[in-house]
Amino acid sequence: SEVHYYIVLASQVKKKNAEVYVDELKVKGYKDTRLFIKNNIIRVVYGDFKTESDAYNQLNNLQKDEYFIDAWVYKTIINKEMT
């Protein structure tokens, strides 16, 4: 299993709303935005970071943008067999 860090832009949202939001962010140039679903919780996440400090450095850079003002770093463990 591997530890991954994501920047979360939205959490516990309806899948349809999340998909629309992902598309909107991609149009704005945030190509690394996608849905992340775990334990039936739908999140809109950006990036995939190996370390917490990498995730926070990126978040600090992005918080100038209105989309990322309330964003936060999410740590998860992904089992290699599942990816």
- The per-residue pLDDT for range 38-49, each reduced to its tens digit, is 999 999 999 999
Lowest model confidence (mean pLDDT) among 44-48, 63-67, 70-74: 63-67
**83 confidence band (pLDDT: 50, 70, 90):** very low
Q: Is the pLDDT of residue 28 over 50?
A: yes
Region 14-23 average pLDDT: 97
Contact 73, 7 (CB under 8 A): yes
Cα 60 to Cα 8, 16, 25, distances in angstroms? 13, 28, 18
